[in-house]
Structure 1
């Protein structure tokens, strides 16, 4: 341990608001029993990171606070009793550290990284080994860092919970990180993918990733009608609902009898109302998706290697360019925004 640094550099939030962010030097403790020391190589940003920085996103933060949750790095040292990792192993952070497997746990029992738990925007972290999984062999650190939230959310919606199989149809809304993972995962499993977006250019890029069709929601506001045409009147087996609000009614009209709507995003509104009779008539299942367990992340990692999934990164920023990266996230991206820490 004598060769390890005793200090590191990390982003700290002194209060709510991006103007309260500062890059500071901090002590780097030696690992305790069960802990590992990780050299951060990349941190993927999610829209929730912007919300947490702005207002806590429903959590009361303890300042100074380090944001972000999705880390890819390399193990520098291991504490006593650690047998899951060796020095030199490449690792990924788990978003919900207390959720190893099985049914979801309440947030109060298993809080999440990056709010309310401290985040990972530091050049080094010292944390329990149980909070990490092995990274994919086939991805760079920047690519791998996009899996813990965006990749796993799409995996949970379609594969873990949705039991997607070849021949089914999937509607993916938008072209953010979760949506593009969903396009690739669905296509790799033999499903027919329909992308709904406000940009013809982004639709074309999504089709290049494996989508079969695209619908521009601006020129076709009642996009569910086109879904019914494309599915021969049957409707989609799976719909990833990313907007919330009034858009959920469109999803309900577009879903197949007995199909599935996975509620993931609330970009339009954090509330919605539905006709109970319409829901009953559809026999559809509506499920909230809030990322997944450590075991599910390990399943995703293996699948990424086998299926040759390549995460879409629109831009990467240097470690000291966090404010610019957050501004990019706020205005929207085709895929993911990543911070380089190597």
Structure 2
């Protein structure tokens, strides 16, 4: 079979289309899946460009969607022909985060071989059913970006109708935030450096848009739009360079979900300001399998589909990462066989 592998120490020019041994038939409690598509996430880019070291020859990509080809003894949840989507933390089935989800040792495309292969054989509980009628590319957007937004807003954020959410940027997580907020009757303010992207975000259901190049101190605009109160929830994707303004933007007693490190992995936190706001700053990495099942059910019930910026062949994975690194995309970038 074909797979996209990374030669150590990484770099987009070290991604190769490799001939690999077919994984064979599933054993007890396993399923064999013909992978149809994957979607790109910032974590995948960090692995591919060598920022996150991994084993030589690692098969890339955390997200995978495809069709069940065979089921092993003891599997009752899936049958041949089912459309399925992978889990980011296959060892995390339910409940709050605990020690067994520290790090990425069991995450496909990082600690273990990923989904950039024509076929995989994995434990059945490393997948969930995909939404009915979705393409594999659409389903592949669920694993990381979609589930992160769901957990931030629903599982942990407890968003209510009428709440106001601020999300930074117009990538896959932020687009999912807009869609989930619409389901819940919440309002969304979105930031971007592009007026065209802000226009598209508002067409999807965002209430307001702020161009952070026009408004360098965008927290002032957030406070203006919320009549000085601040927003109830913030989806913080930037990290060190944006966190202070996010704390300025949150209401007293509000919730900040720190889910991205686009501007770096460490920096100063205005602790006195955070204390004064009495806000909750929560680090968050994706979610568990039960939350993914809940998210899939919500997507089906509300007939919502993801926004896909571009789909390329798996064999052009390096080109897809180059497109991602430019930051010009709106929504998700996918690859498919």
Q: Normalization by structure 2: what TM-score? A: 0.95
Asked if 1:335 corresponds to 2:331, the answer is yes
Alignment partner of 2:280 out of 285, 290, 311: 285
Alignment partner of 1:137 out of 107, 132, 138: 132
- Give distance in 1, aligned partners of 2:296 and 2:212: 33
Instruction: Structure 1 unaligned segments of length 5 or more: list them.
Output: 1-7
| Residue 50 (structure 1) shift | 1.4
Matched residue count: 332
Q: How does 1:1-342 map to 2 (within 5 A)?
A: 8-15=1-8, 16-28=10-22, 29-55=24-50, 57=52, 59=53, 61-106=54-99, 107=102, 111-332=106-327, 333-341=329-337
| Residue 20 (structure 1) shift | 1.8
Structure 1 339/36 Cα, relative in aligned 2: closer, same or farther at 3 Å? same
Q: Normalization by structure 1: what TM-score? A: 0.94
- Give distance in 1, aligned partners of 2:104 and 2:62: 18
- Give distance in 2, aligned partners of 1:71 and 1:96: 13
- Give distance in 2, aligned partners of 1:135 and 1:241: 27
Asked if the contact 2:105–2:112 (Cα under 8 Å) also holds between the matched residues in 1, the reply is no
Asked if the contact 2:4–2:314 (Cα under 8 Å) also holds between the matched residues in 1, the reply is no
| Residue 244 (structure 1) shift | 1.1
Asked if the contact 1:97–1:110 (Cα under 8 Å) also holds between the matched residues in 2, the reply is no
User: Does the residue aligned with 1:269 lie in a helix, a strand or coil?
Assistant: coil
Asked if the contact 2:104–2:110 (Cα under 8 Å) also holds between the matched residues in 1, the reply is no
User: Does the residue aligned with 2:64 lie in a helix, a strand or coil?
Assistant: strand
Asked if the contact 2:63–2:141 (Cα under 8 Å) also holds between the matched residues in 1, the reply is yes
Instruction: Deviation per CA, 1:265-290: give whole Å up to 9, x if none.
Output: 11112113223221111010000110
- Give distance in 2, aligned partners of 1:169 and 1:158: 11
- Give distance in 1, aligned partners of 2:37 and 2:104: 28
| Residue 162 (structure 1) shift | 0.2
Runs of 4+ in 1 over 3 A off after TM superposition: none
Instruction: Structure 2 unaligned segments of length 5 or more: list them.
Output: none
Asked if the contact 2:311–2:335 (Cα under 8 Å) also holds between the matched residues in 1, the reply is yes
